[in-house]
């Protein structure tokens, strides 16, 4: 991401409730047009962090920049963010149209009918449906909540656990909607505790654990971390690389440090790699094959599986 394109930047962002630190010195940037995935277990601080970015909660300390401007409490730039946190605050005895119409009036929109009909169509709700929201399924309520977050035509959409409690069809519909909005140019921030699902839409990822951002990856970097690999620990990586390339025809590798190389051509047997390196004067201290899913990677980073091993 080009830093000049960052439209959201948080620096040392912290929120403390009495003795509990919910978010601790968070730092990251979000580029225009990205789908930013915030992954963390329940209670990690995701909702608190999103509320601060969306202007719904004041930080204890730290800084938020929106559209290259530092923002304070009640800054007008927060109006350029649509946000769906926890529940949408819908009126259960009103229809979908009536709920959105109330919001449109509060925004002072003049073309309310056409705008609302367009949003209902976008989120896959029947414009002519006169059912009360109290009779909606969880998925329908979630879609209506997204429509409500879009009523002010925001530049950024924040969705907190948008697939929580949905069946597979509902999850698929939300995913389709997110990709469609992003294709139209919208920057989207999504939180979830399900990395496998988040990986299907997000372009950038931050892992939040106990209030701290412990990792930040692009989609490509994250998938590379989870790819099958052989980890080589040798006396000198710079001496091992020519052997891997010329003797073993291995081109898919990554030098991690002076002594560690990751090899992604996992079809080659470990013993063959060791033999070639040793015969050419490279000392091999260890060789380990790794294989893990995205969920295993996340759980290992957050310590959620106890004594987990690759």
Q: Where are the domains of the chain?
A: 3-218, 229-290
Mean pLDDT in residue range 170-189: 93
According to the model, what pLDDT value does residue 304 have?
58
**Do 287 and 273 touch, CB atoms closer than 8 A?**
yes
116 vs 228: which has the higher pLDDT: 116
Judged by DSSP in three states, 204 sits in strand
Lowest mean pLDDT among 42-51, 84-93, 116-125: 84-93
**15-25 pLDDT per residue, tens:** 999 999 999 99
The CATH number of 229-290 is which of 1.10.540, 3.20.20, 3.40.30, 3.30.70?
A: 3.30.70
Residue 268's pLDDT band (cuts 50, 70, 90): confident
What's the pLDDT at 309? 23
Radius of gyration of the chain from its Cα atoms, rounded to whole angstroms: 24
Query: Is pLDDT at 72 greater than 90 in this prediction?
Result: no
Coil, strand or helix: which one is 91?
coil
> How much is the mean pLDDT over the chain?
89
Bridge partners for 69 per DSSP: 66
Classified by CATH at the fold level, domain 3-218 comes out as Rossmann fold (3.40.50)
Give mean pLDDT, residues 81-92.
88
Q: Are 174 and 113 contacting, i.e. CB atoms less than 8 angstroms apart?
A: no
Helix (H, G, I), strand (E, B) or coil at 51: helix
- Give the mean model confidence (pLDDT) for residues 27-31: 96
Q: What's the average model confidence in pLDDT over 262-283?
A: 88
Question: In angstroms, rounded to a whole number, what is the distance separating the alpha carbons of residues 97 and 26?
Answer: 38
Position 308 scores a pLDDT of 28
**Per-residue pLDDT tens for 182-237?**
999 999 999 998 888 899 999 999 999 999 999 999 998 888 777 778 899 999 99
Residues 124-133 have pLDDT tens digits of 898 888 999 9
CA distance 34 to 40: 19
Q: Is 173:124 a contact under the CB 8 Å cutoff?
A: yes
pLDDT band at 294 (very low <50, low <70, confident <90, very high): confident
Cα–Cα dist 235/281, whole Å: 10
Average pLDDT over residues 251-258: 89
Query: Residue 310: what pLDDT?
Result: 26
pLDDT value at position 1?
47
- The rounded distance, in Å, linking the Cα atoms of 150 and 249 is 52
């Amino acid at each position: 991401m080009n830093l000049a394109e960052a439209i959201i930047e948080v620096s040392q962002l912290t929120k403390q409730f009495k003795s509990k630190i919910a978010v601790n010195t968070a730092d990251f940037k979000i580029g225009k047009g990205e789908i930013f995935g915030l992954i963390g277990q329940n209670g990690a601080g995701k909702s608190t962090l999103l509320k601060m970015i969306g202007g719904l909660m004041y930080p204890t300390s730290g800084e938020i920049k929106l559209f290259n401007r530092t923002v304070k409490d009640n800054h007008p730039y927060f109006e350029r963010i649509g946000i769906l946190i926890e529940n949408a605050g819908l009126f259960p005895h009103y229809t979908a149209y009536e709920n959105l119409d109330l919001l449109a009036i509060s925004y002072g929109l003049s073309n309310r009918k056409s705008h609302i009909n367009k949003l209902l169509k976008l989120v896959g709700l029947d414009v002519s449906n006169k059912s009360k929201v109290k009779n909606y399924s969880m998925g329908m309520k979630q879609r209506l909540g997204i429509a409500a977050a879009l009523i002010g035509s925001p530049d950024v959409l924040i969705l907190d656990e948008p697939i929580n409690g949905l069946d597979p069809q509902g999850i698929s519909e939300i995913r389709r909607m997110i990709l469609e909005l992003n294709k139209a140019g919208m920057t989207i921030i999504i939180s979830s505790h399900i990395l496998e699902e988040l990986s299907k839409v997000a372009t950038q990822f931050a892992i939040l654990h106990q209030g701290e951002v412990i990792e930040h990856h692009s989609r490509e970097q994250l998938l590379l971390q989870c790819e099958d690999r052989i980890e080589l620990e040798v006396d000198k990586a710079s001496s091992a690389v020519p052997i891997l390339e010329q003797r073993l025809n291995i081109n898919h590798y990554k030098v991690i440090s002076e002594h560690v190389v990751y090899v992604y051509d996992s079809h080659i047997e470990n013993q063959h790699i060791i033999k070639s390196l040793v015969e050419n004067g490279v000392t091999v201290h260890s060789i380990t094959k790794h294989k893990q899913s995205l969920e295993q990677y996340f759980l290992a980073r957050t310590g959620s599986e106890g004594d987990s091993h690759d």
